[in-house]
Amino acid sequence: MQATQNITARVIDVLGVPDTGAWGSFGGLIIMAAILMTVGLAAVLLVWNFRITGRFLSLLIVPALALFGVLSPVTLATSALTLANSDIELVYPAGELTEARTKSVASAMTVAVDSVAGYTLAAKLDQVSAQNITVTLDGATLSEDSQEIYSGADSEQEHNLAVTVPAGMSAGVYKFAIVYDLIENATTKNACAAGDKFKGDIGDIRDIGAATAAWTVGDIGLATDIRNNQQYCIGRLADGNIWMLDNLRLGSTDGPITLTNSDSDLKTSASFTLPQLTTSSALDYDNPQTYGPVMGDSGTGETNYGYFYNWSAATAGESRATMPAGAGSAQNSICPHHWQLPVAHYDPIKPNHFQTLNAAMALDSGLITSDQANDPWGSDYDSWYQNWHNDGPFRGVFSGYWDDGFIAQGEIGYLWSRTAAPTYDDSAFYLFISSDRISPTYDIFRSSGLAIRCIYKQ
């Protein structure tokens, strides 16, 4: 979708004029003019006062002009591109350049786009009169085909503009324009099903309380995570909670991401740095690691795998030292602000989001009776798996996991909880689903890379 504002094209002139040496600048022209005026005035005085003949006068003027010629540079030693806020000028004497010249300058821009997903800034060359001049923007060589130079949500930004003029190019006037185009970013969607239960796009995922307050079981909608413009399907499930119905897809292949307590589930810290995604990192129990893109991930439907995180990354930096065995549930996570990782326990008297949801969905779908639902740890709870599949209310996926490589994609699904295992420092609790089984609580090595589903904190 086109944005409402386009940035005005910058017109760039390449002008062939005298060099910017001592006499090539405006100040130099003034000095040269002063010399000529002085010589001329002296000549007039000599003629007037001493009645000097024209022949003798020429003996004075010719050396003066020769001196002017010596002082005015004609070499290319100081040739340069001078970039102002509105144009670029190539300053060099007539003739041909003996070597290529390049000059760059920072170009500040202010952009106004009212879109939670941000915008993409593209650029191309237009009205080109010299094909052999090279123009780059942030290191990318521009052409007459539009190309992306920025994608994000910053309203003010700075780009580096550079122009190179090749050797052998004659002095002259060469004009071209850089045409900018501003396009609102489309959010990345895993489309929720349409119908009476679909409540539409409710905007920022952090602030869904009012929009979802009247939702009943089965109501679903779309919400956008402003941290990377990812759009998620969310829904009220049979336990009464709002859940993400897609795996978390937070991370970048370009570098780390800084999370803050205004956009993420950080209760006891102001910020957390989520590492860059990798597909080759070693296993790590105590330092955050993120894994992706996941092998076989299509971004939609049954293969919408999201990214994987070790437990330290999932809990925004916890380690075996800060959260040893039996320490309970982590306070922080990389879920969006007002969302959190689910809690899980072996102890049936302690809270367990996964186990509670398992029984509630089984009861709501008629798999079990109310008596069975009152005993969520009954002997057959692991057979209530149908609701966790992609065609069920939870919309689960068999994303597999990471353990020194991507494993079991399309076969099983793992999801982190925020709870440390009770007796073993190296482990934490997770959910396991397969084609014929559900285990709401298992413990696994914290070094493993698992997917994440977040639950809204009412």
Q: Residue 124 corresponds to which tokens in the numbers above?
A: 């191309």
- Dist CA 411 CA 242 (whole Å): 26
* CB count in 10 Å sphere of residue 405: 11
| DSSP single-letter state for residue 268 | S
What is the value of pTM for the model shown?
Answer: 0.62
- Residue 120, beta-bridge partner list: 151, 183
Could you tell me the two tokens for 239?
């336990």
Rg, the chain, Cα only = 34
What residue spans of 51-152 are helical by DSSP H? 54-71
CATH of 10-17+77-184, one of 1.25.40, 1.10.10, 1.10.287, 2.60.40: 2.60.40
What is the residue-wise DSSP string for 361-415? HHHHTTSS-HHHHT-TTSTTGGG--GGGSTTSTT-----BEESSSEE-TTT-EEE
Q: Assess contact for 332 and 267: CB atoms under 8 A.
A: yes
Each of the 458 residues of the chain gets a pLDDT tens digit; together they read 333 333 333 333 333 333 333 333 334 434 444 544 554 555 445 445 545 444 443 444 334 333 333 322 222 223 333 333 334 444 444 445 556 666 565 656 565 554 444 567 777 776 665 556 777 777 778 877 777 777 665 556 677 777 777 766 666 655 666 776 666 655 444 567 667 799 999 999 999 999 999 999 999 999 999 999 999 999 999 999 999 999 999 999 999 999 999 999 999 999 999 999 999 888 999 999 999 999 999 999 999 999 999 999 999 999 999 999 999 999 999 999 999 999 999 888 888 999 999 999 999 999 999 888 888 777 688 899 999 999 999 999 999 999 999 999 999 999 999 999 999 999 999 999 999 999 999 999 999 999 999 999 96
C-beta neighbour count of 370 within 10 angstroms: 8
Q: Which helix (H) or strand (E) holds 44?
A: helix 26-50
Residue pair 133/164 in contact (Cβ under 8 Å)? The answer is yes
Cβ distance 317 to 272 under 8 Å?
A: yes
What CA dihedral angle connects 405, 410, 412 and 418, to 10 degrees?
Answer: 60
Q: What angle do CA 229, 292, 236 make, to 5 degrees?
A: 50
Where do the domains of the chain lie? 10-17+77-184, 26-71, 198-456
Q: Beta partners for 150?
A: 121
Q: Which residue matches tokens 């030693």?
A: 77
Q: How far apart are CA 116 and CA 120, in angstroms?
A: 13
CA distance 410 to 295: 10
Residue 28, CA atoms < 13 Å, CB-side half-sphere: 13
Angle (CA) 142-145-151 rounded to 5° is 70
Phi, psi angle pair for 40, to nearest 5°: -60, -45
The rounded distance, in Å, linking the Cα atoms of 432 and 408 is 12
- Contact in structure between 279 and 292 (CB atoms under 8 Å): yes
**Dihedral sign (CA 197, 200, 202, 203):** positive
**Distance, CA of 432 to CA of 439 (rounded, Å):** 5
Reference 192, options 409, 393, 410; nearest CA is 393
Residues sharing a CB contact under 8 Å with residue 383, sequence separation 6 or more, in sequence order: 437, 438
